[in-house]
Amino acid sequence: MHKNFSEETLRNFTKQVFTEMGCSEEHAELATDVLIQADLRGVDSHGVARLSGYYRLCCKGRINTTPNIRIIHETPTTATVDGDSGLGLVVAPFAMKIAIEKAKIYGSGWVSVKNSNHFGIAGYHSLMAVEEDMIGISMTNASPLVAPTYSNERMLGTNPMCYAFPAGNYPPVVVDMATATAANGKLEIAQRAKKQVPEGWIQDKLGNSTTDPDALKNGGSLLPLGSDKDHGSHKGFGLSATVDIFSAVLSGANYGPWVPPFVAFLDPPSDPVGEGIGHFVGAMRVDGFRPIDEFKQHLDNWILTFKNATTVNPNKKVVIPGEPEYLFTQERKQSGIPLVQPVVDDLNQLATTLKINGL
């Protein structure tokens, strides 16, 4: 059961919510754009469905809607940003803008961010660089749900990393992935549908393999990409560790088990090792390496070659990273963004609380 809403309707509603939360006009518009792009790109778990979550964190005083986001350390091509507990939806684009400005002058720019909150889809930030004919990189740590190989303790978030490259005639190549085998959103879908999940996604509290989607709620943990040692879960753990170190050990944010939870009903650890959650973003000018037209022409050839690879089932073609999200956007800009009823209900309740018009 779902209902379709036009992009414009959802934009207006979302912007009003952020404004009511105390954001400036500019911040409300930016935060809205990050969420709407997630919905347009088909990443429903990271779109307006998260709005109530941000609101609750705000009520708890864990999100500052009038942050003084600032550079606290820098070189010509690197910087550390203090997000002042702001919305990650606003802090991360601020950081990426700095990276892009540095790249314009020096060829590349890299910004590590502390004292931030959930930044939405990684792809949004990387694509800001692509707009400038740059390669965009973005990652963030997140509250601990994933156990390292051999462990049954939740030590890492689903810590996504994203690499985006500008193409010519094709949409950009956007590799935007959680470093766990399955992100939490996929589990929630199985929970709602009361369906078992494949082995290798989660383990129970004791570390036993399970297909029960509720195991995570009952003290279990998600598994790193690779699922088990034999299938390379130490690599998934290594990637997740990389994201954590770039995002938090480098910036001064909380890392590993100290990352504050996204949900407002759980308190952050009382013995923090840093401030807030951390991100890492970067931009590199393509023409710092070769002329942009040459690059795009070869990336188009790369895409075409992979699209035409022989497949086991002729009806299932090779999917270029970023292509499904592009197709979703084309379609949803036309026919609207579908929201499931529980999300609509939740947003309407939020509207009542804030005394604004519902959807």
Q: Which of residues 111-170 bind its own copies (CB under 8 A)?
A: 112, 135, 147-153, 155, 163, 165
Q: What are phi and psi of 211, to 5 degrees?
A: -110, 5
Nearest to its own copies of 17, 261 (CB atom): 261
d(CA 12, CA 248): 34
Please choose, out of 25-33, 36-44, 59-67, 300-308, the segment that lies near its own copies by the rule CB under 8 A: 300-308
Binding residue for its own copies, selected from 256, 260, 261, 276, defined by CB under 8 A: 256
Q: Applying CB under 8 A, does 227 fall inside the site for its own copies? A: yes
**Cβ 259 to its own copies, closest distance in Å?**
12
Residue 80 bridge partners (DSSP): 73, 112
What is the longest distance spanned by two Cα atoms in the chain? 56
Contacts with 206 (C-beta within 8 Å, 6 or more apart), sequence order: 152
**Cβ 165 to its own copies, closest distance in Å?**
5
Q: Applying CB under 8 A, does 99 fall inside the site for its own copies? A: no
Cα–Cα–Cα angle for 45, 47, 51, rounded to 5 degrees: 105
**Cβ 94 to its own copies, closest distance in Å?**
16
d(CA 164, CA 175): 6
d(CA 348, CA 359): 6
State how far Cα 122 lies from the chain centre: 4
Q: Residues 189 to 208: which contact its own copies by CB under 8 A? A: 198, 200-201, 206-207
Q: Applying CB under 8 A, does 270 fall inside the site for its own copies? A: no
Q: Applying CB under 8 A, does 313 fall inside the site for its own copies? A: yes
Please choose, out of 22-30, 82-90, 117-125, 178-186, the segment that lies near its own copies by the rule CB under 8 A: 178-186
Nearest to its own copies of 145, 239 (CB atom): 239
Q: Residues 51 to 90: which contact its own copies by CB under 8 A? A: 73-80
Around Cβ 241, how many Cβ atoms within 10 Å? 19
Q: Applying CB under 8 A, does 219 fall inside the site for its own copies? A: no
Binding residue for its own copies, selected from 87, 130, 190, 299, defined by CB under 8 A: 299
| 89: nearest Cα among 136, 140, 40 | 140
**Cβ 90 to its own copies, closest distance in Å?**
21
| 5: nearest Cα among 44, 31, 34 | 44
Binding residue for its own copies, selected from 47, 213, 236, 261, defined by CB under 8 A: 236
Residue type, 293: D
How many residues in the shown chain lie near its own copies by CB under 8 A?
Answer: 87
- Burial environment of residue 231 by CB neighbours within 10 A (0 to 12, 13 to 18, 19 or more): middle
Binding residue for its own copies, selected from 30, 177, 215, 350, defined by CB under 8 A: 177
Residue type, 220: G
Q: Applying CB under 8 A, does 271 fall inside the site for its own copies? A: no
State how far Cα 65 lies from the chain centre: 20
Site string for its own copies, 315-334 (x = CB under 8 A): -xxxx-x-------------
Q: What SS3 state is found at 39?
A: helix
User: Do strands 78-82 and 108-116 pair parallel, antiparallel, or not at all (unpaired)?
Assistant: parallel
**Cβ 118 to its own copies, closest distance in Å?**
21
